[in-house]
Homo-oligomer: A and B are copies of this chain.
Amino acid sequence: MKNLILASTSTIYGSSHLEYLLDSLQIHFKGVNEILFIPFARPGGITHDAYTAKVAESFKPLDISVNGLHEHNDKSKAIEHAQAIFTGGGNTFVLLKMLYHYNLLHTLRTVLQGGTPYLGTSAGSNICGLSINTTNDMPIVHPPSFKALGLVPFNINPHYLDPESNSTHMGETRAMRIKEYHAYNSPPVVGLREGSWLHIKHDHIVLKGEPTARIFEINKSPYELKSNSDLSVLH
């Protein structure tokens, strides 16, 4: 019954927040007039209120109102009763720590498995993988575990970036980091480039958007999958 859009980024270069997704969101959120927004990832450290106001602005063209999960005293109940849910990007460690703090992972997993339409961008997509072991974010807080919602049978690396061929920087490339991940973890990693998203309907996982995705499986060379590829076979 799952009905999820998991996007690499909320914003593509030269475009406003969520703009490139609006056509898809119009279909995805058909019949929805209010969305519950999870603002916990706080990009750049902005407040929950400011982040929620920004998102409310982005949903105006769809005539959908937005309320923030932080405003609810009973957060589990707010999730259970939500018509639809959006989790925005920011810091994945902060987001996951808050979900553990309020004990919301089980409830969120249950409603999303039950069909509540969901949008995740960046950190909000990352938490739908098996774990946040492949986030790009800085570990500015310490969550009790890196285990996440496990709504897809792999990990996501949002904002996937190819190595720059003319770089003189000696820090690890994204691909090298994911190789290190596979020294300790076996699940595949989907490197989602900006402009890509996963559309999950029941257990059918399809790559959408223009870019290809880079797939990292343990003991295999990384490879590319084109838009509209079926990722349901990855596990």
Contact = CB atoms under 8 A, between A and B. Distances in A.
Interface string A65-92: 0000000000000000000000000110
Interface string A169-208: 1111000111111111100000000100000000000000
A137 interface: yes
A184 B145 contact: no
Given A133-B140, A138-B180, A168 B42 contact: no
Contacts of A139: 93, 132-133, 135, 139, 146
Contacts of A170: 9-13, 159, 194
Interface residues of A, number: 47
Chain multiplicity (copies): 2
Nearest to A171: B159
Interface in A27-81: 42-45
A161 interface: yes
A140 B185 contact: yes
A220 interface: no
Interface string A133-157: 1111111111001100000000000
Contact of A138 (B135, B140, B161): B135
A94 B184 contact: yes
11 contacts: A44-B180, A45-B182, A90-B180, A94-B180, A135-B139, A136-B138, A138-B177, A158-B171, A159-B170, A159-B171, A170-B194
Interface of A: 9-14, 42-45, 90-91, 93-94, 122, 132-142, 145-146, 158-159, 161, 168-172, 176-185, 194
